[in-house]
Structure 1
Amino acid sequence: MRRFAPALALSALALPAPALADLPAPVRAMIDAAIETGDEDTVRTVIDLARTTNPGEAAEIDAILAAYETDLAAAAEAEAAAEQERIRTAGLFDNWSGKGELGAFRSTGNASNTGITAGLSLVREGIDWRHKLSGRADYQETEGVVTREQFLAAYEPNWKITDGLYAYGLAQYERDRFQGFSARYSVSGGLGYDVLTGEEMTLSVKAGPAWRRTEFVGGGSRSDLAGLAALDFDWQLLDTVTFTQDASAFVQSGSSTFISDSGLVAKVAGDFSLRLSYTVEHDTDPPAGAVNTDTLSRVTIIYDF
């Protein structure tokens, strides 16, 4: 159901209506009242009824509809132009949306324990650019000894080439001492495409060359050229339940990294949701003393803003 500003309704009421003398006054009053509501569905329903009950004045009724549709298109165009201008003139801290997460995790692999997890993701949509910021931390301490410490921070700008095609850049930092590295830096750039953009299902894929530098806990470091491929899939199963699947692969001559994150998000109340997720991270050639595969089960509360 589409609604428009009162200005549109008033404008439509003031439109010149040539050759409407034969249209009964009550019928014209009914059409005018429908236009005044600003509800397009109501207007079209009333006009259809007026045409059915007054077949002799069909041409005059069609003239009213044509004038209404012209005004409708002009209002939509003006609204779109105003929205674009608002985005173009927005300040640095405007037009951001995002979500925060807080909850608990259970891990297996290099460390088997339970701890707390927190995450934050932000998106800023512009005319030609989209900016993404994300961060996550998993931490657990037992009797004063840290048994889980994993941090990730990433920044990804997108430049929109067409409606679906975009160029991306990525800068990412990771820290996971239990996987054997005190820091891992990743930089990538390439192309992405929004394959699905429906209300119930979205799918975005991207790929490009990458460079990674790993600083090991035991000392020393390594730099490698790599290739990055990733996907982001969301499927709204029910009005309040969404399935999410994120996957990425850094493929290189050294230790390649494959990550899969599957989740179910259920709306709880207002802007709050509950998320259950399962993450698998596999390194083909981890540092000495570390195992290849880590898994992480998370239960988090999400706040959308």
Structure 2
Amino acid sequence: MKTRTFLFPLGVAALAATPAHAELPQPVRAMIEAAIATGDTATIDAVAGVARSTNPGDGAEIDAMLADFRAGQRELAAAQAQAEEVAIREASLLDNWSGEGQIGGFQSSGNTSSVGLTAKLDLEREGLDWTHKLRAAVDYRRNNGQTSREQLLLAYEPQYQIGDDMFLFGLAQFERDRFQGYSARYVASGGLGYQVVDNGSLKLAIKAGPAFRRTQLITGASENTLAALAGIDFGWTIADRLTLTQDVNAVAEAGGSALAIIDSKNTSLNFVTGLEAGISESLTARLSYTVEYDSNPPAGAVSTDTLTRFTLIYGF
């Protein structure tokens, strides 16, 4: 019987014996795994880019490693978000409050004897849908034995989020300023608000609604009026870091608020703007300018008060 011998070309045989592409070299894999361990996206992308350029045939394997990393990050973020949601839902009324306190003062003696104190406390509790804001402020000044300024403000404002940018708000506020002619002024209001801008460096929210105002004058008379309320809350980060001295770095922000209450007898405007510079992680210096305007003040009082303050703020 005649034996037949089949001969394959050498190149075809070699191709059949060689994998479609070589496995990603272990040193390259270790380098990518080390970058992934850092968790820094920029580092991971840079190392993966170098690995692709030096191992062009292993792009699919490199992509698979990155895909596993990103899937793990998504799972971790989802688990953290769920844990935070559970913590917020189970928190008591006294939990999850944050805020800041301001205090400033002065004292002088000699030809003029004077003393002054200004203090403010802002608290905020942010939940899944509700945000609660509490504000208290006092400003007191005495000159040559006579009180020349005595202001007190207490306010509570709840907000309920009804969309990404839309919210409902309520407001209960108490004021006392005998030098503006009233011993007590109460405001109750509610309405609709809208977050116009919130991109990290710039925040702007507006709100409006009806209001009821009761004013008790120092003469003993009282007034009840229906009014309209309009408000603006804004903040602007001027620079990421501002060098104040050789060894103090700070975040500088400009921010404030404006609140107008308009009724048939008297229009009130409170406008506050300020500049803040961080001294440390918790301590901030603030320079602010306040304008308070009443279109129809009691007899003997002027329409406009202005006040410039320099205070220290402690955040917590």
TM-score by length of 1: 0.87
Cα deviation, 1:132-155, whole Å, max 9, x if unaligned, reads: 000100011234432211000000
> Aligned AA for 2:159?
N
Whole-angstrom distance in 2 between the partners of 1:245 and 1:92: 28
User: Is residue 133 from structure 1 mapped to residue 137 from structure 2 by the alignment?
Assistant: no
> Aligned AA for 2:181?
G
Which has the larger Rg? Answer: 2
Whole-angstrom distance in 2 between the partners of 1:101 and 1:42: 41
Which residue number corresponds to residue 6 of structure 1?
none
> Aligned AA for 1:55?
P
Structure 1 residues 100, 20: closer, same or farther in 2, change over 3 A?
farther
User: Is residue 294 from structure 1 mapped to residue 305 from structure 2 by the alignment?
Assistant: yes
Identify which of structures 1 and 2 has the higher relative contact order when contacts are C-alpha pairs closer than 8 Å and 6+ apart: 1
Alignment partner of 1:243 out of 250, 254, 263: 254
Cα deviation, 1:199-238, whole Å, max 9, x if unaligned, reads: 1111111000000000010111000000000101111112
Instruction: Flag structure 2 segments of 5+ consecutive residues without an equivalent.
Output: 1-19, 107-113, 241-250
Cα deviation, 1:3-47, whole Å, max 9, x if unaligned, reads: xxxxxxxxxxxxxxxx99711111111122222223232222222
How many pairs were matched up?
280
Which residue number corresponds to residue 23 of structure 2?
22
Give the conservation status (yes or no) of the 8 Å contact 1:20–1:60: no
Instruction: Flag structure 1 segments of 5+ consecutive residues without an equivalent.
Output: 1-18, 106-112
Which residue number corresponds to residue 272 of structure 1?
283
Whole-angstrom distance in 1 between the partners of 2:101 and 2:194: 26
Which residue number corresponds to residue 16 of structure 1?
none
* Secondary structure in 1 matching 2:239: coil
CA RMSD of aligned residues (A): 1.8
Which residue number corresponds to residue 5 of structure 2?
none
> Aligned AA for 1:275?
R
> Aligned AA for 1:122?
L
Whole-angstrom distance in 2 between the partners of 1:215 and 1:92: 33
Which residue number corresponds to residue 192 of structure 1?
193
Which residue number corresponds to residue 51 of structure 2?
50
Larger displacement relative to structure 2 (191-200 or 209-218): 191-200
* Secondary structure in 2 matching 1:41: helix
Structure 1 residues 21, 32: closer, same or farther in 2, change over 3 A?
farther
* Secondary structure in 1 matching 2:279: strand
* Secondary structure in 2 matching 1:190: strand
Which residue number corresponds to residue 104 of structure 2?
103
* Secondary structure in 2 matching 1:269: coil
**Residue 114 of structure 1, CA deviation:** 6.9
Whole-angstrom distance in 1 between the partners of 2:21 and 2:176: 75
User: Is residue 60 from structure 1 mapped to residue 61 from structure 2 by the alignment?
Assistant: yes
* Secondary structure in 2 matching 1:79: helix
Whole-angstrom distance in 2 between the partners of 1:155 and 1:273: 24
Larger displacement relative to structure 2 (130-139 or 69-78): 69-78
* Secondary structure in 1 matching 2:67: helix
Whole-angstrom distance in 1 between the partners of 2:46 and 2:90: 39
Larger displacement relative to structure 2 (151-160 or 190-199): 190-199
